[in-house]
Amino acid sequence: MQLIITEKKSVAESISNALGVSQKHSGYMEGGNFLISWCAGHLLELAAPDEYDSKFAKWRYADLPIIPDKWLYSAIKGQKAAQLKTLKDLMKRPDVECIINACDAGREGENIFRSVYNYAKISKQTKRLWIASLENAAIKAGFSKLADGRNYDNLAAAASCRERADWLVGICGTRLMSVLYGTLLNTGRVQSPTLAMLVKRDADISCFVKEPFYTPVMDCTGFAASGDKLKDRQSAEDIRNNCSGKDAVVRSVERQKKSESPPKLYDLTALQRDANRLLGYTAAQTLEYAQALYERAILSYPRVDSRYLTSDMHGTAETVITSLKAQSPYCIGMGFTPDMGRIINDKLVTDHHAIIATPTALSANLTALSAGERDILNLVSVRMLCAVAPAHIYEAVTTVLDCAGHTFTTKGKIIITDGFKAIDTAFKASLKTSQESGEEADEIEEANELPGFSEGQTFGNVSVTVKEGFTTPPRPYTEDTLLSSMESAGTADVPDISQFERRGLGTPATRAAIIEKLVKTGFVERKKKNLIPTDKGLNLIAVLPDALTSAKLTAEWEYMLMQVGLGELSDKKFMDGITNFITTIVKENNTLKPEFANLFGGDKNKNEPLGICPRCTSAIRENESGYFCDTQTCFFKLWKRSKFWTAKKRPLTADIVSALLKGGEIALKGLYSEKTGKKYDAIVILDDPGEGYVNFKLKFK
Beta strands 458-459; 406-417: pairing state? unpaired
Query: Concatenated DSSP letters for 112-180?
Result: HHHHHHHHTT---EEEE---S--SHHHHHHHHTTPEEGGGGHHHHHHHHHHHHHHHHHHHHHHHHHHHH
User: Which residues are within 8 A (CB) of 85 and not within 5 positions of it... i.e. 6 or more apart?
Assistant: none
Look at 433-447, 490-504, 585-599 and tell me which has the smallest mean pLDDT.
433-447
Catalytic residue status for 672: no
Whether 639 and 628 have beta carbons less than 8 Å apart is answered as no
pLDDT tens readout for residues 200-248: 999 999 889 899 999 999 998 788 999 999 999 999 999 999 999 999 9
Closest of 640, 628, 615, 578 to residue 691, by C-alpha: 615
Residue 252 pairs with which residues in a beta bridge?
A: 400
pTM as predicted: 0.77
Rounded Cα distance between 185 and 179, Å, is 9
Identify the sign of the CA torsion 502, 505, 511, 513: positive
Q: Tell whether the model's pLDDT for residue 543 goes beyond 70.
A: yes
Distance between CA 97 and CA 128 in Å, rounded? 14
Least confident of 408-412, 504-508, 538-542: 504-508
pLDDT of residue 222: 80
The confidence score (pLDDT) of residue 78 equals 79
Mean pLDDT in the chain? Answer: 89
Q: Which of 161-170, 448-457, 625-634 has the highest mean pLDDT?
A: 161-170
- 553 has pLDDT over 80: yes
- The helix/strand/coil state of 407 is strand
Q: Give the confidence band of 503 by pLDDT, cuts at 50, 70, 90.
A: low
pLDDT value at 158 more than 60: yes
110 neighbors 16 (Cβ within 8 angstroms): no
| pLDDT > 70: percent of the chain | 94
Cis peptide before 94 (omega within 30 of 0): no
pLDDT at 492: 55
pLDDT at residue number 397:
92
**All domains of the chain, ordered by start, with CATH?**
2-145 (3.40.50.140), 163-205+492-596 (1.10.460.10), 212-261+393-470 (2.70.20.10), 268-390 (1.10.290.10), 604-699 (no CATH)
* Vertex 571 angle, CA 569 and 577, to 5°: 90
pLDDT of residue 321: 96
- Assess contact for 471 and 213: CB atoms under 8 A: yes
User: pLDDT band at 434, cuts 50/70/90?
Assistant: very low
Contact at 8 Å (CB) between 100 and 146?
Answer: yes
Residue 253, H or E segment: strand 248-260
Q: Which of 301, 308, 394, 477 is catalytic?
A: 301
Q: What is the 3-state secondary structure (H, E, C) of 299-349?
A: ECCCCCCCCCECHHHHHHHHHHHHHHHHHCHHHCCCCCCCCHHHCECHHHC
Q: Dihedral through CA 509, CA 514, CA 516, CA 518, nearest 10?
A: 180
Q: Which of 645, 679, 633 is nearest to 184 (CA)?
A: 633
Q: Region 186-192: what's the mean pLDDT?
A: 91
pLDDT in the model for residue 421: 95
Give the residue-averaged pLDDT of 70-82: 89
pLDDT band of 443, cuts 50, 70, 90: very low
